[in-house]
Structure 1
Amino acid sequence: MEAEEVLTGGNVADRVVKIGATVRKPALDHTAGVEAVLDHLAAKRFEGAPRTFGRDVQERHVLEYIPGALADTLPPFTLDELRRAGRLIRELHDAMDDFEPPPDAAWHPAVPDPAGGELICHGDLAPWNLVRNDDRWVFIDWDNAGPSTRLWDLGYAAQSLVPLLPGGDVTADAPRLRAFVDAYGLDQEQRRAFPAQIAARTRGSYELLVRGHETGEQPWAQLYADGHADFWGPAADYVARHHDAWVDALLSGPA
């Protein structure tokens, strides 16, 4: 048996390790649903998700190890890279359109879409979950997958990938958001609705941390203690404050 190399960075699963060309992580009650999602995406030949290889003798979930660098360790996305990310997420959502979840699937999205939704989405499309190499861009860590809508899932991705940060410059951020949205291919009605969805999804991340602080639920309580709410609250304020500017940018000129 090859040596186990402990991997860091996740918040949901304990002790994630790399063994050879695989990742092993504890199987939880939502793992069967994640396996079904990844099997479906593999059947669709979607290259932006890791392959799943069942369970090992310790009943750990075995996944394809994706070599490369996490996007949050690299420079900010260029406009062309934002367009690539937008196209990749569109391909992901389209591939999931005909997915039929197992009847007993359990889902644990960290910030559920308040509107519900029937599309099973990743739920955490962020640079710290995007591995980039010369051949593939792959979204890892599917523990927060669950029922959602395109705009809710895409809203989190927009906040984290564009990114829309506390104290940002709307004149610089708006064209970047437009490039991302154009590549995804939102229609006019969706473009009008999208900025409010970004704001609500970002506010949801803040409220999750506050609830964790109040209830002691982990890992959110620890993340609150580490100061993460101090980022998400102001980020939500920034997105909401410039709602009209985002709408104008998304609707200006040909789409």
Structure 2
Amino acid sequence: MNDGEVLAGGVANAGAIIKIGDEVRRPASAQTELVFSLLEHARSNGFAGVPEPLGIDEQGRERLRYIPGDVAIPPFPKWSLSPGLLASVSRLLRDFHDAVADFVPPANAFWNTELAHPDGGNIVGHNDVCVENVVVRDGQAVALIDFEFAAPTDPLHDLAVLARHWVPVDTQQDAERWGRSGFDVGSRLRIVADAYGIPLGPQRDEFLDRIVRGIHRSGPFVLARIARGEQAFIDMWERSGGQERITRRIAWIDSIRSELSAALNKN
């Protein structure tokens, strides 16, 4: 029996995130100590947009200070497509990157690198800034949560993950599956790049390259978990359209890449 309020959202830990008073309890992992040190470092640098670590409870779960606000979950509400919210999510990630830029993990640190840039990078990023992992208040993003996949990565890779989920970089057909429609991919990508502070030119093309490469690599992460028999990922794969959706999305992004580049670099 749960000893608190079950918080909605998530896939791997669905039903296992519990709110007790002003604390969140969630399953610990081999990376818990590392993640706690990352969060403490960000907070010590003045960044309040991550949970405050409080230790481990008697059941071996992580204890984190609860951050009040709204978290959008599928089917996503209309407010989650607000251009102002999109810009604030991008700014929040930039502020987090700045806060952890001088974080030096132990030499023998063992991170969960499943969603990080394949070649690592010069910061420890979030790597999973999906809609469900951002706390919102008054239409503005105020905190990042769920650092299960935090690991050394490239900042533009981290931002590209955010863009794929929040723009979203998806066909209208597939986005509608999650309650999202009526958005313009190019203009919303421009919002992300502007808010993060990417200058016009080569860096924006590099950002777009990260997005396209990420879409081409999509699938193996979920398929690996399906192969392990994880039912939550089996269900998600089926709900999202499976391999047909991935094939369709790759063909679509390749067909509009030049159009997106022009939108990103428009003066």
In structure 2, C-alpha distance between the alignment counterparts of 1:51 and 1:184, rounded to whole Å:
24
> Structure 1 residue 247: deviation in Å?
1.1
1:21-48 per-residue CA deviation (whole Å, 9 max, x = no partner) reads: 1001121101111111111111112122
Is the Cα–Cα contact under 8 Å of residues 83 and 191 in structure 2 kept in the other structure? Answer: yes
> Which residue of structure 2 lines up, in the alignment, with residue 61 of structure 1?
62
1:210-254 per-residue CA deviation (whole Å, 9 max, x = no partner) reads: 3444x335354453344453544433433332111111111121x
Aligned to 2:218, the other structure's residue is in SS state: helix
> Structure 1 residue 65: deviation in Å?
1.1
Match of 2:190 among 178, 194, 198: 178
Is the Cα–Cα contact under 8 Å of residues 111 and 201 in structure 1 kept in the other structure? Answer: no
Residues 1-255 of structure 1: pairs in structure 2 closer than 5 A: 3-13=3-13, 15-72=16-73, 73-75=76-78, 76-134=80-138, 137-167=142-172, 172-187=184-199, 188-213=201-226, 215-216=227-228, 218=230, 220-227=233-240, 229=242, 230-253=244-267
> Structure 1 residue 139: deviation in Å?
1.2
In structure 1, C-alpha distance between the alignment counterparts of 2:64 and 2:190, rounded to whole Å:
34
> Structure 1 residue 156: deviation in Å?
1.1
Runs of 4 or more, structure 1, over 6 Å off, are: 168-171
1:72-111 per-residue CA deviation (whole Å, 9 max, x = no partner) reads: 4432432222222221111111111101113343211332
Read off the aligned partner of 2:84 and give its amino acid letter.
D
In structure 1, C-alpha distance between the alignment counterparts of 2:155 and 2:229, rounded to whole Å:
28
Q: 1:207 to 1:241 in 2, by over 3 A?
A: farther
Aligned to 2:220, the other structure's residue is in SS state: helix
Could you tell me which runs of 5 or more consecutive residues in structure 2 were left unpaired when the two chains were aligned: 174-180
In structure 2, C-alpha distance between the alignment counterparts of 1:138 and 1:231, rounded to whole Å:
30
TM-score by length of 2: 0.83
Give percent identity, aligned residues only: 29
Read off the aligned partner of 2:119 and give its amino acid letter.
A
In structure 1, C-alpha distance between the alignment counterparts of 2:151 and 2:106, rounded to whole Å:
12
In structure 2, C-alpha distance between the alignment counterparts of 1:71 and 1:6, rounded to whole Å:
15
In structure 1, C-alpha distance between the alignment counterparts of 2:97 and 2:104, rounded to whole Å:
14
- Which is worse superposed, 69-78 or 172-181? 69-78
In structure 2, C-alpha distance between the alignment counterparts of 1:171 and 1:123, rounded to whole Å:
24
In structure 1, C-alpha distance between the alignment counterparts of 2:249 and 2:11, rounded to whole Å:
21
Q: 1:83 to 1:9 in 2, by over 3 A?
A: closer
- Number of aligned pairs? 251
In structure 1, C-alpha distance between the alignment counterparts of 2:151 and 2:229, rounded to whole Å:
20
Aligned to 1:25, the other structure's residue is in SS state: strand
